[in-house]
Structure 1
């Protein structure tokens, strides 16, 4: 994952078989927020010198333990700790790892908060069975030793198969209620990266299809969602889409319905100088697409859209994407977009 903004929350799904069975526990890892400080005898300033200095973690390479408000050496820039008061900064080739107890054969999503500390793009990689967060440069030039991403708020969540929907809805997890862990108090949402065909998705039933862009998973505790407690915000315009494939009977009449709204986070898309949000629905077998235009004031709301078509084959793919690009009204330039929710597909 490339860290491309000052602060973001990201998720990468890890699916693996554990060495032994253990109870499922959803939430932060042990010292996942790095608030338990390292042993000072194994530090040189902010630099962690002992592999096991940070409680419950094993560090390798140039790892720093950073406190909120700390200035970056050389220019006095304040380092943006993503969550709480402490985080770790990973230099080039550095990693932190933790051994997890999980359930054999179960599927999990791992979330973490990350922030970059300079204009240089940073790349983070997660691997298992031991959870490893590793930093490497992006190959675009010389590595700046003053740079390196901050990592914080590492958590895990068991992914459960989406239950069969009621009312003849063929789509799984159409309300997006099943998904990655969202930390209490987090206002960022969770970025869900694109997944390849056949890969396990952090959004059971759905895939984020894109070359490199993500969708944002949001919850009702901190965002406006059209229905239920979770939804997906399409923040990458036409560069990312939500996709699901289902079994259908060839020749059957199908109707896809979906809700469009805004997250109530200041993503304004109305007025003479701003294009409205526009979500497009498409499906294999459909003669065209259906689009819902939503004039967002950034305070929440919803509209409903529908697409009718005849199933062409035994498998039908449905697609939802935003046809435009939007930014927050606070002047930060942060990307935002329409929220989609309550998606259904009924065929008869």
Structure 2
């Protein structure tokens, strides 16, 4: 390319960094399952009570089935996790992730990227496979975007809060028009 180098942003189609949460905090950064320290969860910034939970039997008679891997993140009241991702400007991306409701109370997850956000009600309550898969699309306006998952709830039981796992991102190609092609609708009578 001569004296000028083009910096290419890679095509995104995989887990976010530590998006499966299999890389956990150091033992010194955990108080039972609660993560201590804003930057203690590798590749993520946390706020509030965020837990690194293993699948299987839990205190209080709970059982967390985890379909992918051995660990998930549980977001307590007003807790969040976030990560900055390099993206292409003016491009549409999709975030996919597994989410599980842990209590019979209403649970909502706020997902945001850049200046876009949505509140997603978490429907599952201990399904056989450990959670539903959600997809959420957003359009970028800059080279970096902060991807954030936030539990806005104020549950009475502090053991409640959505579980998150397997967070991935995929670039969605824009639909294009090819000149000269026509589609003919054929009706069946």
Task: Give the TM-score taking structure 2 as reference length.
Answer: 0.72
Query: Where do 5+ consecutive residues of structure 1 fail to align?
Result: 1-19, 171-253, 257-305, 309-348
Residue 159, structure 1, aligned to residue 172, structure 2: yes
Q: Distance in 2 between matches of 1:126 and 1:116?
A: 15
DSSP-derived class of the 1:99 partner: strand
State which of 10, 22, 25 in structure 1 corresponds to 2:9. Answer: 22
Q: CA deviation at 1:42?
A: 1.2
Count of residues in Structure 1 that have an aligned counterpart in Structure 2: 151
Match status 1:86 vs 2:99: no
Rg comparison, structure with higher value: 1
Check if 1:49 corresponds to 2:39.
no
Cα distance between partner residues in 1 of 2:69 and 2:158: 25
Q: Tell me: higher relative CO, structure 1 or 2? Use CA pairs within 8 A at least 6 residues apart.
A: 2
2:124 alignment partner in structure 1 = none
RMSD: 2.4
Asked whether the 8 Å contact 1:80–1:117 carries over to 2, the reply is no
1:86 and 1:143 mapped to 2: Cα distance? 25
Q: Which residue of 2 aligns with 1:63?
A: 50
Which residue does 2:100 correspond to in 1? 115
Q: 1:82 to 1:93 in 2, by over 3 A?
A: farther
Q: Deviations over 1:254-292 (max 9, x none)?
A: 546xxxxxxxxxxxxxxxxxxxxxxxxxxxxxxxxxxxx
Structure 1-normalised TM-score?
0.40
Deviation of 1:169 after TM superposition, in Å, equals: 2.8
Residue 95 in structure 1 maps to residue 109 in structure 2: no
Hey, what's the Cα distance between the residues in 2 that align with 1:79 and 1:136?
22
Q: 1:116 to 1:82 in 2, by over 3 A?
A: farther
| Offset, 1:51 | 1.0
TM-fit CA distance, 1:21: 6.7
Distance 2:52 2:66 in 1: 11
Q: 1:34 aligns with which of 5, 18, 21?
A: 21
Give the Cα separation in 1 of the matches to 2:183 and 2:37: 55
Task: Look up the SS of the partner of 1:41 in the other structure.
Answer: helix
Q: Is the 8 A contact 1:82 1:151 kept in 2?
A: no
Query: 1:177 aligns to what?
Result: none
Match of 1:134 among 150, 154, 162: 150
- Equivalent-residue separation in structure 2 for 1:98 and 1:143 (angstroms): 28
Give the superposition deviation at 1:135: 0.7
In structure 2, distance between residues paired with 1:148 and 1:56: 21
Within 5 Å, give how 1:313-328 maps onto structure 2.
Answer: none
Question: Structure 1 residue 70: deviation in Å?
Answer: 3.9
User: Which residue pairs with 1:77 in the alignment?
Assistant: 62
Change (3 A) 1:60 1:21: farther
